[in-house]
Amino acid sequence: MNVQENVPLAPLTTFKVGGPARYFVEAATNAEAAEAVQFARSKDLLLFVLGGGSNLVVSDAGWPGVVLKVAVSGIDERSENGKLLFEVGAGVEWDKFVARAVERNCAGVECLSGIPGSVGGTPVQNVGAYGQEVAETIESVQALDTKDGQIRELCTEACGFSYRTSIFNTSERGRYIILRVTYALAPGGAPRVHYADLKRYFAGREAATLAETRDAVRRIRAGKSMLITPGDEDCRSAGSFFKNPVLSAGQFADLAGRAKAKNLEIPSYPALDAQKKVSAAWLVEHSGFAKGFGFGRVGISRKHALAIVNRGEATAADVVAFKEQIQERVEDIWGIRLEPEPVLVGF
């Protein structure tokens, strides 16, 4: 295990903000991950697990403890009960795995193409986009239990998946270090073309292939600067900064009433039993933060209303201050407190 000191974290994130890690360890094996945990304990320091760096904001002070970057690699395949199971190392780049699945003509993750980050981060927030989420295909998660140092295999039910949540970022936050994830995909399955953007893209066509769907998703994401493209300022972000609020019937009625008073109609779709999921992007845009809005070093993406972007030399403090400004305005106008999607590290 190689322990480095005072390693800058900003270059390891898509936002490109934040200070250094006091100690930094990259673990390519289960044993090295366990060693890193013991190292942190021996120095009585907090441990933070870093994946692909695509969904976090690191404070300007950095991380005063140990940052562990899980770099477990490899993709193994096996057939089971009519499914093709892919056991993927947590350090594998997510989009490379999706490309592999589509090449093998396996359905289940094609709409998650182009999402930055690593495989190990996908179960944490139950990553989803364009009508799919990883909870639908995750068979199991192999993780190091920091409570007793044991390697555990957690089934889908044990992961407690819900909209953008799991036990890994709620009830058991900080307990498990994800090492491998097994996905059960459908060989020869049809692509999921349910999302409005995809329906528009394929309008007039009877069917699309998995490869065509993957290409369409990547093109749509690129059009919103949600595909990492070198030199594109709007890509210096953490992707969608706020979760789509899931409201009760009463909350939704209140929101609809506020909108009606402004001669507006809330776009929504059914979610989670009797609840309603509403568009955070709509709330942001209808609170005075249009695409391209900004001042100085931070702003809103010119192509995606939910992405806060680093326009150059921004600090983490700039990002957080802008985030809070948006939250306060949306709450004042619409009575809804938007919840950030990225992890805030070192604050």
Residue of 170, 152, 153 whose CA lies nearest to 161: 170
Residues facing 47 on adjacent strands: 66
Question: How many alpha carbons lie under 13 Å from residue 124 in its C-beta half-sphere?
Answer: 26
CA distance 326 to 337: 10
- The single residue of 118, 140, 166, 240 carrying the catalytic annotation is 240
Extract the tokens encoding 186: 């459908």
3-state SS of the chain: helix, strand, coil percent to 5? 30, 30, 40
Residue of 170, 46, 52 whose CA lies nearest to 121: 52
Amino acid at 34: A
User: The dihedral of CA 206, 211, 214, 215: what is its sign?
Assistant: negative
**Catalytic annotation on 172?**
no
Instruction: Please identify which residue in the block is written with the tokens 């955070």.
Output: 280
- The single residue of 54, 110, 113, 164 carrying the catalytic annotation is 164
Extract the tokens encoding 257: 């009433």
213 contacts: CB under 8 Å, gap ≥ 6: 110, 111, 113, 191, 192, 193, 198
CA distance 221 to 217: 6
What is the largest distance, in Å, between two alpha-carbon atoms of the chain? Answer: 62
CA distance 228 to 264: 34
**Catalytic annotation on 328?**
no
Q: How many CB atoms lie within 10 A of CB 343?
A: 18
Residues facing 186 on adjacent strands: 107
**Catalytic annotation on 324?**
no
Query: Is residue 37 a contact partner of residue 146, using CB atoms and an 8 Å limit?
Result: yes
CA distance 181 to 114: 18
DSSP annotation of 14: S
Angle between helices 249-261 and 316-334 in degrees, nearest 10: 80
- The single residue of 26, 110, 172, 341 carrying the catalytic annotation is 341
Please identify every residue annotated as catalytic: 164, 240, 341
